[in-house]
Each structure stands twice: as C-alpha cells, then as structure tokens.
Chain A
Amino acid sequence: MRVEPLPADDMLPVAPGEEHDESAGRAMEIVNYLKAHLPEDLVVVMDAIHCVKAKMDSEHIYAEVAHSLMVSMKECRNRMKRLRRASLKLLHKWEKKTS
C-alpha cells in the first residue's frame, strides 16, 4: 500500500495542550518579571532549563543544565537553590504588586 506524503502546509489540528492559551500571558508576565529582577547568572540558568527537553527527571535536567553552562553538578545544584530562593522572594513581590 502506498502512503502519500503529507503536504507541507497541512492543516492538521494542533495537538492537545498546544492550543492557544490566552492566560499564557500571565505566565509570561511572571517569567519576564523574574528574568528582569534575577541576577544575570540565574537568568542564564533559567534559559538553560528552558532549553532542556520537558518531562525528564530532575537528575537528567541537572546534568543537561550543568553541561550547557559548563559547570559542575554541585555548582549547578547551588545555582538552582539560589534560583529557587530568589524566585520565591520575587514571586511574593509580584503577587503584592498585582493583587
């Protein structure tokens, strides 16, 4: 049986979870707020996490991030800890600002 290749400009439906999310603007607002206020080295960590494939376990994410930043796993964990603590403070500020 011959299978015809799909045309490049196919009109296939977007996969579930990929649909346009209007409230994504809020998530983007949080991310932008964090990136605007976090120290640069932590913004780099966020970018590195962004580039890692989703649904990996934490250890693999740490390994990928450490590799992309060319730092040790220990250093990567330290930065992650700093990122979480700094983000927590900023999230509280953001919440106060927007409420």
Chain B
Amino acid sequence: MGEENIVNRTDVLIRQFFEAAAESDERFLQTLQRILAAADQPAVGPADHVVRAGLAGKSTRVSPVRETLPTYSATGPGQSETSEIDAAVCSVGEALGEMLLANGWTKQEAAGKLGLSEQVCHELLNEMMPLTGKTARSVATFLSETHHGTPAQLLADYLLNGLHFWELKHSGPGHTRIAARRKGSPNDKKKP
C-alpha cells in the first residue's frame, strides 16, 4: 500500500511535469527540479549508489543519471551564445505550435477546433500569411471562450496584439512607427 502511494506520487509528479512544460517557464523550472531529484533516487536498490558520508544521519548519493553524463568544462558547449532567432520573442506561429503540442492536436484537429481551414492553420503555423483581422478575431474569440490555459491566452494575446498593430498601421500614414514603439522608450522624448 505504501509502495503504491510512492508510485502514485511519482506518477503525479511526471504528470505535473508534462503540464508544466506546456505552461510557464517558472513552473517548468520548479517541476524539472523535482523530477531531477526523483530521478536521482536509486532505481536498482537502496544500497546501490549510496555512499555513507560518515556523519550522523547524512548520506551522499551518487546519481545514476549524472554518472552517465559527460562533464563540461567552464568553456564547454554551455558557453555558446543563443542565436538571435532563439532569443526572439514568441511569434504567432510558435504560440500556435505550442498550443497544438500542449493539447496533442494535429494540424487538422486544430483547424477544426479553431474554426479555420487547414490551409489557413498551416500558413499560420509556418508564418506564411499575414494575419488578417477576421482570422485573428475568430481564433482569439474561440480561444478565450473555450480554453483558459497559458498557451491559449498567449496565442489570443498575440493575435489581438497583431490585429491591433495592423489596425494602427492601416489607420493612417505615419502611425506605424508610433504603434511599434513601447511607451516610455527613449524615442518618445520630444525633439528640442
């Protein structure tokens, strides 16, 4: 019975790990830490990989996970800079892609659920089409009504931001640059 509880606890943790990966970086970070700690526990037997440190009640386990891993020097592969593409903020295509992953939808299923044609869904995913007001509104409305997860919210925000930007861009000449700037940026200062 106790053993069953332990199994369930790890299963719950694994389930939480899946959910966290689809949610936020912060939650993923914390769950990943717990998964790594759970994986650190010996799988063969309690006596294996356990080294008594000689102090009362303290033991140092050598992780079977870490044993198999290569070690990296300070100037190893971890030092390479992230490319500009990786560092760029999430785009509509990426947000939609995450939404598909999070829900385990295929492109066809997503198109059906979002009320879009498969072609439009494909083009949105691959960022091959400009975002039209109609598409943005239909997808954002659908998402905010039916889903409450972070990826859905993210996508809805992006779609609405994109639409807002598009409207500003087309509302008159000279409005694009104003719309693209954030409030409080140094460029907002008036010229003398």
Chain A residues with CB under 8 Å of chain B are 5-10, 12, 15, 19-28, 30-32, 35, 40-41, 43-50, 52, 54, 58, 61-62, 69-71, 75, 77-85, 87-89, 91-92, 95
Inter-subunit contact B104/A61 (CB<8 Å) = no
Contact residue among B7, B33, B69 (Cβ-Cβ distance under 8 Å from A23):
B7
- Please report the C-alpha to C-alpha distance between residue A24 and residue B57 in the assembled complex, in whole angstroms: 22
A-B contacts, CB under 8 A, total = 150
B76 near A: Cβ within 8 Å?
yes
Q: Given A21-B6, A78-B87, A92-B101, are A27 and B33 neighbors across the interface (CB < 8 Å)?
A: no
Residues of A within 8 A of B33 (CB): 49-50, 52, 54, 61
Residues of B within 8 A of A83 (CB): 28, 32
Inter-subunit contact B55/A8 (CB<8 Å) = yes
Inter-subunit contact B21/A91 (CB<8 Å) = yes
Interface of A is mostly: helix
Contact residue among B9, B30, B64, B87 (Cβ-Cβ distance under 8 Å from A28):
B64
Closest residue of chain A to B151, judged by CB?
A: A88
- Please report the C-alpha to C-alpha distance between residue A87 and residue B29 in the assembled complex, in whole angstroms: 11
Interface of B is mostly: helix
- Please report the C-alpha to C-alpha distance between residue A95 and residue B11 in the assembled complex, in whole angstroms: 13
Residues of A within 8 A of B34 (CB): 54
Residues of A within 8 A of B30 (CB): 58, 61
Residues of A within 8 A of B87 (CB): 75, 78
- Please report the C-alpha to C-alpha distance between residue A8 and residue B55 in the assembled complex, in whole angstroms: 6
Q: Which of A35, A43, A50, A80 has the most CB of B within 10 A?
A: A50
List residues of B (102-149) whose CB comes within 8 Å of A's CBs: 102, 104
Residues of B within 8 A of A87 (CB): 21, 28, 32
- Please report the C-alpha to C-alpha distance between residue A46 and residue B69 in the assembled complex, in whole angstroms: 11
Residues of A within 8 A of B94 (CB): 85
Could you name 6 residue pairs across A and B whose Cβ atoms are closer than 8 Å?
A: A24-B10, A24-B40, A54-B33, A69-B78, A75-B81, A87-B32
Mark the stretch among B41-49, B152-160, B161-169, B184-192 that contacts chain A: B41-49
